[in-house]
A = this chain, B = another copy of it.
Amino acid sequence: MERKDYLQTPVKHIKIDGTLTVDQLMQQFKGSGALGAGRLSSACDIYEKMLKDKECTIFLALSGAVVPAGMRTLITDLIRKHLVDVIVSTGACMVHDAIEAIGGRHYIGGWAVNDTELYKYHLFRIYDIFVPEEDYVRLDFKLSEMYDDIAAQHKGESLASNEFSWEIGKRLSDKNSILRAAYEENVPIFLPSVRDSEFGFIHWLHSAQGKSKPVLQVDAFKDVPTVCNICAKSPKNGMIVIGGGVPRNTIQSSALASKKGLDYAVVITLDRPETGGLSGSTLEETVSWGKMKGQADHVMVIGEALMVFPFLVASVTERLGDFKRTPFLQFDKAGKGS
C-alpha cells in the first residue's frame, strides 16, 4: 500500500441544522466515517445490502434484555415485514415476550434500589426494569397447560427448539408477540439453550405429574441440521447480533458447519475481546475458522444494543421506503426452507 492510499477519505464534519430524519443523520455519520459513528453507519449500509441482496438469508441473534428494553414491537415488525428470516435467541428473551403476550408488563424503575425490598415485594429486577413475580406465576400456569396440549399432540415425539417456539407461538394470541408473529409468518426461532429459562423450569412442574399424561419432550440436538441446512441452502448468509452468547455462536458455527461462511455480519455489543470469550470476540477472528468469509461486509458496533439497534432499524426503514423484500428461502409450517 502506498502512502496516498491511506489518505483517500478526509473526515467530513457532521452538521446539524434544524430537524433531521434518522437517516439524514446517519448519512452524515457515513461522511464522517470514523470511530463509533462510522461503525454505526457501516452497520446500516451492511443491513441495507443484506436486505437488497436477493440471495441472502438474514439471521438475527437476540440475547439480553431485548423485550424489557422496549424492543419487542420492533422485532415483531421486522418479522412481519420479513426483514429478518431466522431468529436465534435465548429462552429468557422468549419468556419475556410470552409474559407480555399474556398480559404481563415490564416497568421502568431504577438500578440504585433496595433489592431486599424488591424481594419482599416480589418484584424482579433486570438492571433498571422491574417485573412482578405474579406475571411469572401466571405464565407458569399457562405454559404448563400449553405443554400438556403440545405433548398430547406430539405423543412420543421429541421436538426441536424451533418446533417448540412455534408451538408456543401458535398458542399465544397477542399480535405484538415475537413468538406469535414468527409462527404466523413462518419465521423459525431457534432456542439452542431453551432449557436455561423459565421454559425449562416449568417443564419440571409439567413433567412431575406422573405417568398419567404425556410429557413434552425437546431434543437438545434436533435443531442442529435444520439451522445448518438453512445456511447450506442460502447462496448467501448474513447475521445481525444483539448481544452475544449462545445465539451468536450458533449462527457462526452453523455457517461453519455448512461450509458456507457468513457473507455479512453486524455485531452490536459492549463485550470486549481480551477474555477470549465468544461474545466479545472480533469478527476478524471468525475468519480464521471459516465462520465468516474473509471478504464479508462486516462491522462490530461498540455500544448498548438496546440504544443502537433502533437507530439502525429506523435508518434502514427510512431507506427502504416502499421496498418490499421477498426472502430467498420460503419456510413452510414444517420449518423447512425451500
Residues of A bordering B, CB below 8 Å = 1, 3, 6-23, 25, 28-29, 31-40, 63-65, 68-74, 77, 92, 105-109, 111-112, 115-119, 121, 123-130, 132, 158, 161, 176, 192-197, 200-201, 203-204, 207-208, 217-221, 223-225, 228, 243, 245-246, 249-250, 253, 257, 270-281, 284-285, 287-290, 294, 301-308, 310-311, 313-314, 317-318
Nearest 8 CB-CB pairings of A with B: A32-B70, A65-B276, A36-B304, A36-B307, A64-B277, A193-B193, A118-B288, A13-B73
- Given A35-B307, A194-B220, decide whether A3 and B294 contact each other with a Cβ distance below 8 A: no
Chain B residue nearest to A221 in the complex (CB):
B203
- Given A21-B22, A117-B1, A279-B245, decide whether A106 and B34 contact each other with a Cβ distance below 8 A: yes
| Prevailing SS type, chain A contact patch | mixed
Copies of the polypeptide in the assembly: 4
Set of chain B residues within 8 Å of A245, measured between Cβ atoms: 245-246, 279
A78 CB to nearest B CB, Å: 9
Set of chain B residues within 8 Å of A32, measured between Cβ atoms: 69-71
Set of chain B residues within 8 Å of A92, measured between Cβ atoms: 249, 278
A260 CB to nearest B CB, Å: 14
Set of chain B residues within 8 Å of A10, measured between Cβ atoms: 105-108
**In the bound complex, do residue A77 and residue B15 qualify as a contact, i.e. CB atoms below 8 Å apart?**
yes
